[in-house]
Amino acid sequence: MNHRAFFSYASEDKARVEAVYQLLLAEAPDLAAWLDKYEILAGESLIDRIAAGMDESEKFVIFLSPVSITKPWVKRELCRALMREIQGVDPNFIIPVLIGEITAVPPFLEDKKYIQLDKMTEQAWVDELIAAIRGVRPTPSQDQAENILVHCESPPGQRHIVRIVFEAQFWAEKVSFGVKTSRNIVRAVVEQPSLTQGARGNLLGPPGDEQANRREFVFSCEHPKIEPGSPAIFLLEFAPSVDAIASIEYVGHWGPS
């Protein structure tokens, strides 16, 4: 069966919805999600194409954000979807996805389970969304590390120090990062206060040699994840003559997710 899901969203949330669409397409191309960007050509009737897209879809995925719940066009699409549920055509037609904090959900959606994009890891919400569209229970799977922005910079006049920031862009991620360098690391400090409790930063070298070069730094934390707006930040310090940023050979996820 070719499952289809209609995506309803506000234009201000376009980047996030497009990211969801692309991940869903990669994980489950058979679902053939309906996104206006790829379904409506110039000159075609918006009303006719959207109505047809909803009628052809087995599920209606509405992305609820502080912006989208105020949009008349999104409200019209939701009203049309609600009529399909009320008339008994499909009592589970609507799948709500939360992106951001909202004070109240739209009427008639209060009793539904939501997929909370900002509070879940990527693989967790992908699995749940696919399961909801297909109408089957999700199967357990490992989280896959994606979605992390990494930024490195040296403080003014301190080129031997590098400040490394790991930040979740769209959704929550587990904390397990590492840095490999070409020069010895003298000192490593966790800077983000919210991650200090339970944080572990280890300088690594060849096993059994306490005097060995320390050119790997692994950072992990008992806190299960970082969320958008709450980055993991730490400082690496090298010898005064070393260019810290030029010494970094690898920075990113480390070990099993």
Query: What's 148-253's CATH class?
Result: mainly beta
- Residues β-bridged to residue 14: none
Counts for the chain of helices (H) and strands (E), in that order:
6, 12
For residue 159, what pLDDT is reported?
Answer: 92
CATH architecture observed for domain 5-134: 3-Layer(aba) Sandwich (3.40)
At residue 256, does pLDDT exceed 80?
no
DSSP-derived 3-state class of residue 10: coil
CA-atom Rg of the chain in angstroms: 23
At residue 157, does pLDDT exceed 70?
yes
Asked if 164 and 231 touch (Cβ cutoff 8 Å), the reply is no
User: Alpha-carbon distance 20 to 153, whole Å?
Assistant: 30
Mean pLDDT of 132-161: 76
Write out pLDDT tens, residues 182-196: 999 998 887 765 554
Transcribe 160-227 into DSSP letters.
TEEEEEEEESSSBB--EEEEEESS---EEEE--GGGTTTEEEEEE-STT-TTS---EEEEEESS--B-
Output the furthest CA–CA distance in the chain (Å, rounded). 74
At residue 207, does pLDDT exceed 70?
no
At residue 30, does pLDDT exceed 90?
no
Write out pLDDT tens, residues 3-24: 689 999 999 999 999 999 999 9
At residue 94, does pLDDT exceed 70?
yes
- Percent of the chain exceeding pLDDT 70 equals 82
At residue 250, does pLDDT exceed 80?
yes
Q: Name the pLDDT band for 257 (thresholds 50, 70, 90).
A: very low
Please state, rounded to an integer, the average pLDDT across all residues of the chain. Answer: 82
Among the residue ranges 67-81, 110-124, 132-146, the one predicted with the least confidence is 132-146
Structural domain boundaries in the chain:
5-134, 148-253
At residue 78, does pLDDT exceed 60?
yes
Write out pLDDT tens, residues 158-187: 999 999 888 888 887 776 778 889 999 998
